[in-house]
Amino acid sequence: MVFLLEEKILALLMKKPEAGLEKLMNTYAGLIYTIVCNKLSAICPKEDIEECVSSVFFEAFEKRAGIDLSKGTIKSFLATIAKRRAIDMFRKSMKEHTTVLPLHILGEITPEGAEGGTQPQGQCDRLDTRNLLISSIKALGEPDTEIFIRKYYFGQSTKVIAGLMNFKENTIDKRVSRGLRKLRTIVGADIDFQERMDS
């Protein structure tokens, strides 16, 4: 019934934008905040994080006429905007600050246009790699799939995931470690190849 809920939100956004926006935020604010916060919390104050979240909702609101539920859900539309805006803000903040950042954070962000410069064949390969990656994460099976999505898509810490999923922290770490080995076997070569193409 998620589709029905999204239909209602979209219909509201079109016909009663204020009510639609309210419903949209009530439904997805937690999700979007999680995405943005985990990307920016190391370098941005709470106010900037909230500003970025509000920009995501405003952008979706402005683009509401172009939302086509047959092509994807509002949830994924918002999540995609959130990822991009958070990365944009991360880059801006990086330019403004000289803070020394942990290497793993720097590693997440690549220069703008890295993908745009890839040739069509490269884009195709990248698409295949990502689809393979998604299916591989799904193939890990529960609860590992959820752990991986929380950790690597939403950027939640082991401690937070352990609390949310009622596991011990070391159980999460073990499952992550085991899952990474499986993923490396399945998609590692693809990702390594893509990295060489991009560099």
Q: Closest distance between other proteins and the C-beta of residue 7, in Å?
A: 5
CB under 8 A, 24+ apart: contacts of 128-136: 128/190, 129/187, 129/190, 129/191, 129/194, 132/186, 132/187, 132/190, 133/183, 133/187, 133/190, 133/191, 136/182, 136/183, 136/186, 136/187
- 25 scored as a contact of other proteins (CB under 8 A): yes
Answer for the pair 68, 46: CB distance below 8 angstroms, yes or no. no
Secondary structure class of 142 (helix, strand, coil)? coil
- 155 scored as a contact of other proteins (CB under 8 A): yes
Q: Which stretch binds other proteins (CB under 8 A): 22-30, 93-101, 166-174?
A: 22-30
Q: Which two tokens stand for residue 33?
A: 């905040």
Q: Which of 115, 128, 159, 170 binds other proteins (CB under 8 A)?
A: 115
- 169 scored as a contact of other proteins (CB under 8 A): no
Q: Closest distance between other proteins and the C-beta of residue 3, in Å?
A: 5
Q: Which of 122, 149, 173, 186 binds other proteins (CB under 8 A)?
A: 149
Q: Which of 48, 83, 122, 171 binds other proteins (CB under 8 A)?
A: 83
Which stretches of the chain are DSSP H helices? Answer: 2-15, 17-40, 46-62, 74-96, 103-108, 120-139, 144-148, 158-165, 169-183, 189-198
- 10 scored as a contact of other proteins (CB under 8 A): yes
Q: Which of 44, 137, 147, 162 binds other proteins (CB under 8 A)?
A: 137
Tell me, by CB under 8 A, how many residues bind other proteins: 80
Q: Closest distance between other proteins and the C-beta of residue 168, in Å?
A: 21
Q: Which stretch binds other proteins (CB under 8 A): 61-69, 94-102, 167-175?
A: 61-69
| Concatenated DSSP letters of 33-87 | HHHHHHHHTTTS-HHHHHHHHHHHHHHHHHTGGG--TTT--HHHHHHHHHHHHHH
Q: Closest distance between other proteins and the C-beta of residue 143, in Å?
A: 11
- The amino acid sitting at 15 is K
Q: Which stretch binds other proteins (CB under 8 A): 93-101, 146-154, 166-174?
A: 146-154
Span 175-194, contacts to other proteins by CB under 8 A: 180, 183-184, 188, 191-192
